[in-house]
Amino acid sequence: MSQPKITPSTNLTKPKLDLSSYGPFIGLILLCVIGAILNRDFASWGNISNVLTRTSLVGIIAIGATFIIISGGIDLSVGSLIALQAGVMILVLNAVFGTLGASFATILIGIVTALAVGFVAGLLHGFLITKGRIEAFIVTLGTAAIYRAVLTQLAQGGTITFTDPKLSSLFEPLYYGTPLGIPVPILVFLAMALIAGLLLNQTTFGRYVQAIGSNEQVSRYAAINVDAVKIWAFVFQALCVSIATILYVPRLGSASNGTGLGWELEAIAAVIIGGTALKGGSGKIFGTVVGSILLATIGNVLNITSLISEYLNPAVQGVVVIVVAFLQRNRK
Amino acid sequence: MAFLEFVDVIKEYGAVRVLHGVNLAIEHGEVHALIGENGAGKSTLMKILAGFVAPTSGEVKLESRRLQFSSNTDAERAGIVLIHQEFNLIEDLSIAQNIFLGRELKRGVLLNTQHMNLEAAKALARVGLQLDPRTLVRDLIVPHKQMLEIAKALSRDAKILVMDEPTATLTPVETDVLFEIIAGLKASGVTVVYISHKLDEVKRISDRVSVLRDGHLITTRETASTTQHEMASLMVGRDLEDMYPAKSIPSRKASDVVLELQHFSVPGWAQDIGFGLYRGEILGFGGLVGAGRTELFEALLGLRPRSSGTVLRHGRPIQIHNPRDAAKAGLVYLSEDRKGKGLLVDFLLFQNLTLSNLSSYAKPLLNQNAEQRALEKARDEYGIRTGNLAVAAKMLSGGNQQKLSLAKIMQLEPEVVILDEPTRGVDVGAKREIYFLMSALAAAGKSVIVISSELPELLGVSHRLIVMRQGQIAGVLEAEHLNEQEVIQYATGLKSNLGQHNPVNA
Amino acid sequence: MKKILLAFGAAAVISALAFGQDTMKKSIIGVAIPSADHGWTGGVVYFANRTKADIEKMYPGTTVIVKTAKDAAEQANQVQDLFTVNKIDTLVILPYESAPLTTPIKNIHDKGVFVTVVDRGLTDESAQDAYVAGDNPGMGTVSAEYMGKKMNGVGNIVVLRGIATVIDNQRVDSFEAVMKSKYPKIKILDKKYANWNRDDGFKVMQDFLTRFKKIDAVWAQDDDIAVGVLKAMDQAKRKDIKFVLGGAGSKEFIKKVMDGDPLITADVTYSPSMIRDAMNLTAKARVTGSKMPVKTIIPSVLVTKANAKDYYFPDSPF
């Protein structure tokens, strides 16, 4: 996220600060001011931590989506993937709990299960898109349907839940825990944002992701292993979903057909609001973080006030999204 | 009073002034050449004429009336048509649909497709193209697209036609056709403004020539009384020493062969190609557009499929499946398509420079200071001129972009450097610098292959020249024997020395 | 209309004759329902498949074909296929949406297929022979009566709505009507959509808890929403809320009622088993020739600890 440091021996000037990139941030601040005026409890720590915790699930997914979108791809399967991962994770935990009990091993198995499902799904996407030469849109549209259907089959149309309440209490700290007074999901979200920022701006992988999104041909001619970079980007996205799953499962301890419904669009919206171009090439993790918080905050402000008829709530979200997009649009 | 007049035209982009009060008069019915290095302001001046941009101050007068266009459409309606250097065609529409774009012929509310196709065929015939007007532009080869642009402009009944580098992609035959068309237009009273880097063409076609340098109009002269050398000197503002560096032909022992291709074929493009490349050699590849040169080397780099052939490095066969394999084997390729395949135009300069060998800057996090230092070094070594190094590649002029591209591929420290049209769209000064860079590479023991459509350049820099025709090697010529006539005879099939088949000793 | 009556009469006569000869009429019954996209429809699929087996056993020779659709368009195609490919003479359908399916259903109804519509009525009632539905207004009424009584007519409540549909409106409107007329001292602090799912239930309840410092009870209307509500309360450690009323009769919540959960004291049924009732009634009418009532409303029932075990189906996914 930092600008390249420039040695004093050169006459380089820093690129001019671009106000348009602060659009979502300004939007968020405005929204917070309005929220605080309408309801004093908006600014309470309880509410802020509620909103940020809520943000973190979609936010972590959106961090992965930032890479995919910068690389010029799209992943429509993340909402279904979190449902499948959550379902599989709960089923596996139900199965092992009898023998392992409330142990660290159980927690580890849960986490590994989610990561493994994510890893396989990411590889599958990456290979179908690069080696199979199918559009990412189609591949992930297809897998989205498959994941959700498999989950529904596993759930027999119902809801998969922890069979033993002790499992619930074993996992609950992963969502409800507050080390240093801050909920775990917020800490994980923050850590993921920092790691992703580093990955995008300070590693060859991040540079390649941007290069491929900017011009795939040029990247290929520049001796970049384009296919490998794309595959890893999809794996990274799916692993982000895994981490979101690990935080999601402890919240309600259940997974059903409705889990993660529409989250892919929310994640993509957060990325775009954050200033990443849908056509790829460049983008900012910080923008995505702000975009995710902004989206969650709109819903929160509407919920804690009765200004607008409940029927019109979605319209307000639509208006805010468009206004923010307007603030951060590229000047031609 | 002149027919078309620019009066004190000033144009500023932000704080940068690109035109410093240009006064230029163009007479009715003349072919007026406009020359100058890249960035001299030629394109900006013509964009003002064609209504794409408005001048900051000053005015343009046509027959003493002040022109004020709010858009290019206004200008076209007034009979001023600009043919861009980059094609303004919609790839997925047909020829006829492109010609009539925005002014479709109708029958009632419905499009009159038949009529448009008929008219389009006539417009094509005017530029000597015999193509089905229903062909998609996507399926046309580049020279045909250029001719289509001209046909499209002609069909708009232009009074003033501005052509920006129209022959950059044309073959000699097509260039001749274009010049006949220009002569015809002139005879029928159309005024033509002709922008080109090719001074021989300027000499051939224009009545008068104006020289722009750094946003100033330097002079306007009668073409007939100005030599090409004078034009070049006026453009760069100093006397040009020799354009080309001195040649020092390297030794050609069998052990000096660094790269050899045997029976190399690319489906649809090249058949049974064989040649050897020596250490320290500059090997030119000539031929007409479409002779298969670019495709041959793209296939060598694994960028397109090949059907057969062996590649030897220092006598040992190697496998190249993609540019990474090639880079490992010490081969790099600079594409002719700078914006499409060469540079990330939206990326910063240092990001472009280090793209191919980025991992050497990662430990494991990228060391951007080291990348900056590499850029500063490249700037000095390759003479990349820019006020600000922290800009996107698209902000550089064509010549400086090309120098950056060269610096970029050299980051891989290759032994064999393949340059495809390295001076396309580059001004005279930068061209010369690129020739000297190539010479320096060869002197340092690298081997250079240069593909070019500009014969003088090929003759000027190559130690040896291979001429390709219709996917085959038509001749291998030594530097001593090179002259343009002979090369053209090989390129067009009038001559061939294919009989000598041992490529290395050819 | 006359034509339908005639056809109906003829069918009755024929089946009566058939019955007289001691052979039952063989029927091909198509059952078109939404796919299991949330808990309640999951229950519908479960009961439909179970009832298919029951009917085919009870009436040998009768075939039941169950089709699930993920949207209205797919269901419309299924209706056509059932008629042209499977040659059904009877259709039991829980329409994905009423309006877009009315015409396709009417088309095959006009060609002589007996149509029973479940839960969501068609916009043109002449396209259906029978209508079997749960009682949405009743669900609101029963819920309001229970809450009003349990709160002794005084207190603050919040309402979590479902998805903006006719069903949701009917429930909420009748709920509010009862509260207004019979328990005017119960104040509805606010009502927001929670879309019949757990995650939104959690989110909306979190914000209600931030906003309202004193809430006496929650009408979550639906058991899935109630799951989220309970988690949010748990997280906020709020003790002011005395009970949460869900709805639809999921096995999880019926179990809680049965076990005497302090917060889940009751539930109100709106059971997916209505598809079972509709299939049974239709099959009986078609095979035996008996007449089927034009409209059958399956009432929403208050489930308390006393009667909970009658409504507990541990095998059902819902």
- B170 and B268 housed in the same domain: no
The predicted-structure confidence for C21-59, as pLDDT tens digits, reads as follows 445 677 899 999 998 777 788 889 989 999 999 999 988
The predicted pLDDT at position C36 comes to 78
How distant is the Cα of A148 from the closest Cα of chain C, in angstroms? 9
Interfacial C residues in 244-303 facing A (CB < 8 Å): 252
What pLDDT, on the 0 to 100 scale, is given for residue B503?
44
- 3-state SS assignment for residue B208: strand
- The percent of residues above 90 in pLDDT, for chain B, comes to 40
Instruction: Say whether pLDDT at A9 is over 80.
Output: no
The pLDDT tens digits of the residues spanning B189-230 come to: 889 999 987 888 899 999 999 999 888 899 999 999 998 888
Question: Is B403 part of a structural domain of the chain?
Answer: no
CA distance C245 to C253: 10
pLDDT attached to residue C15: 46
* DSSP alpha helix (H) spans, B248-397: 293-300, 323-328, 349-353, 368-382
Confidence of residue A21 (pLDDT cuts 50, 70, 90): low
pLDDT digits (tens, 9 = 90+) for B63-78: 888 888 888 888 888 8
Tokens of A327: 């603030």
The answer to whether residues B108 and B189 belong to one domain is yes
Question: Strand C217-219 vs strand C186-193: parallel, antiparallel, or unpaired?
Answer: unpaired
Structural domains present in chain A: 44-327 (1.10.3470)
Of A152, A176, A254, the CB nearest to C198: A254
Chain B CB within 8 Å of residue A16 CB: no
Distance from CA of C245 to the nearest CA of A (A): 18
Number of domain units in chain B: 2
The residue among A52, A184, A251 with the most chain C CBs within 10 A of its CB, best to mutate, is A251
Contact A288, A63 (CB under 8 A): yes
Whole-number Å distance between alpha carbons of B403 and B430: 8
Q: Which residues pair with C218 in a beta bridge?
A: C158, C244
- More confidently predicted of C211 and B14: C211
What digits encode the pLDDT tens for the residues C243-253?
Answer: 999 998 888 89
Instruction: Spell out where B411-503 has E strands.
Output: 416-420, 447-451, 464-469, 472-478
Structure-token pair, residue B499: 């009989």
Q: What is the mean pLDDT of residues C160-166?
A: 86
CATH code for the domain in which residue B464 is found: 3.40.50.300
More confident residue, C313 or A229: A229
The highest-confidence range among A187-191, A259-263, C232-236, by mean pLDDT, is: A187-191
Q: β-strand B447-451 against B416-420: which pairing, if any? A: parallel
Residue B65 and residue B212 in one domain: yes
Q: Which of B236, B262, B295 is the last residue of a domain?
A: B236
Asked if C36 and A46 come within 8 Å (Cβ–Cβ), the reply is no
Question: What's the whole-number mean pLDDT along residues C278-301?
Answer: 89
- Beta carbons of B369 and A5 less than 8 Å apart: yes
How much is the average pLDDT of B479-488? 76
How far apart CA A66 and CA A196 sit, in angstroms, is 9
Q: Taking Cα atoms as reference points, which of A302, A200, A183 lies closest to residue A251?
A: A183
H or E element, residue B86: none
Phi, psi of B31 (to 5 degrees): -100, 110
Residues B8, B142, single domain; the answer is yes
Q: How confident is the model at residue A15 (pLDDT cuts 50, 70, 90)?
A: very low
Give domain status of residue B404, yes or no: no
B87 and B122 part of one domain: yes
Instruction: Give Cα separations from B183 to B153, B188, B189, C228 (angstroms).
Output: 16, 9, 10, 82
> Is position B306 within any domain?
yes
Measure in Å the smallest separation between the Cα of A171 and chain C Cα atoms.
14
CA-nearest of C313, C230, C234 to C276 is: C313
Residue-wise pLDDT for B421-446, tens only, equals 998 877 778 888 899 999 999 999 99
Counted residue by residue, chain A has a size of 332
Assess C71–A contact: CB distance below 8 Å, yes or no. no
End-to-end CA distance of chain C, in Å?
39
pLDDT of A7 over the 70 cut: no
Domain boundary among B176, B203, B236: B236
Helix (H, G, I), strand (E, B) or coil at C315: coil
Q: Please, what is the end-to-end C-alpha distance for chain B in angstroms?
A: 62
The residue that leads in pLDDT, C237 or B102, is: C237
Domain membership of residue B39 as a residue range: 4-236
- The answer to whether C312 touches C258, Cβ cutoff 8 Å, is yes
B370 found inside a domain: no
Q: What is the DSSP string of A30-73?
A: HHHHHHHHH-GGGGSHHHHHHHHHHHHHHHHHHHHHHHHHHTT-
Three-state secondary structure along A139-198? HHHHHHHHHHHHHHHHCCCCEEECCCHHHHHHHCHHHHCCHHHCCHHHHHHHHHHHHHHH
Last residue of a domain, one of B219, B236, B253: B236
Strand partners, B317: B312
* Mean pLDDT value of segment A9-32: 64
pLDDT at position C9, please? 44
User: What is the pLDDT at residue B238?
Assistant: 64
Confidence check: pLDDT of A199 > 90: yes
Residue A319 banded pLDDT, cuts 50, 70, 90: confident
In angstroms, the CA A150 to CA A153 distance is 5
Minimum mean pLDDT range among A278-282, C220-224, C306-310? A278-282
- Taking the CA of residue A283 and the nearest CA in chain C, the distance in Å comes to 29
Residue A20 has pLDDT above 80, yes or no: no
Q: Per the CB < 8 Å rule, is A50 touching C206?
A: yes
In a domain, B362, yes or no: no
Cβ distance of A159 and C224 shorter than 8 Å: yes
User: Is the predicted pLDDT of residue A14 greater than 80, yes or no?
Assistant: no
What CATH class does C136-268 carry? alpha beta
The one-letter amino acid at B65: R
Are B284 and B438 in contact, with CB atoms under 8 Å apart?
Answer: no
B363: nearest CA in chain A?
A: A203
Q: Are residue B89 and residue B216 in the same domain, yes or no?
A: yes
Residue of B333, B341, B406 for testing the chain A interface, max A β-carbons within 10 Å: B341
B146 and B22, same structural domain? Answer: yes
Confidence of residue C5 (pLDDT cuts 50, 70, 90): very low
State the Cα–Cα distance between residues C34 and B419, nearest whole angstrom. 63
Residues of chain C with CATH 3.40.50.2300: 2-134+272-298, 136-268
Q: Residues of B at the A interface (Cβ-Cβ below 8 Å)?
A: 303, 322-324, 326-327, 333, 335, 340-348, 350-351, 355-356, 358-359, 361-362, 364-366, 368-369, 371-373, 376, 388-391, 408, 412
Would B408 be classed as within a structural domain? no
Q: Is A202 on the interface with B (CB under 8 A)?
A: yes
Query: Range with the lowest mean pLDDT among A111-125, A296-310, B40-54?
Result: A296-310
Question: What stretch of H or E contains A243?
Answer: helix A226-252
Tell me: do B218 and B313 sit in the same domain.
Answer: no
Query: Which tens digits make up the pLDDT trace of B274-294?
Result: 999 999 999 999 887 778 899
Same domain, B201 and B325: no
- Taking CA–CA distances from A303, the nearest residue in chain C reads C207
Q: Does C165 touch chain A (CB under 8 A)?
A: no
pLDDT band at B239 (very low <50, low <70, confident <90, very high): low
Confidence (pLDDT) at A71: 95
For the segment B140-198, what is each residue's pLDDT rounded down to a tens digit? 877 788 888 888 888 887 889 999 888 877 777 778 888 988 898 888 888 999 998 78
The average pLDDT across A30-59 equals 91
Percent share of chain C, pLDDT over 70: 92
Residue count (chain C): 318
Q: Is residue B120 part of a domain?
A: yes
Q: Tell me if B504 sits within 8 A of B276, measured CB to CB.
A: yes
Burial readout B274-299 (b: 16 or more C-beta within 10 A, e: otherwise): bbbbbbbbbbbbbbbebbbbbbbbbb
- Runs of H (alpha helix) within B237-348: 293-300, 323-328
Residue B484's contacts (CB-CB under 8 Å, 6 or more residues apart) are B455, B456, B459
Residue B450 above 80 pLDDT? yes
When mean pLDDT is compared across A112-121, B86-95, C79-88, C262-271, the lowest value belongs to B86-95
The verdict on B26 and B123 lying in the same domain is: yes
The average confidence (pLDDT) of chain B is 87
Same domain, B220 and B260: no
Buried (b) or exposed (e) across B50-78, using 16+ Cβ within 10 A? bbbbebeebebbbeeeebebeebeebbeb
- At B498 the pLDDT is 62
pLDDT in tens, A211-236: 999 999 999 999 999 999 999 999 99
- Does B325 lie in the same domain as B208? no
Residue B382 lies in a domain: no
Q: Are C293 and C130 in contact (CB under 8 A)?
A: yes
Fold annotation for C2-134+272-298: Rossmann fold (3.40.50)
Record the pTM. Answer: 0.77
Question: What is the overall mean pLDDT for chain A?
Answer: 88
- For residues B80 and B158, the answer to whether their CB atoms sit within 8 Å is yes
Give the residue from chain B lying closest to A225, CA to CA. B324
* C114: nearest Cα among C53, C62, C70: C62
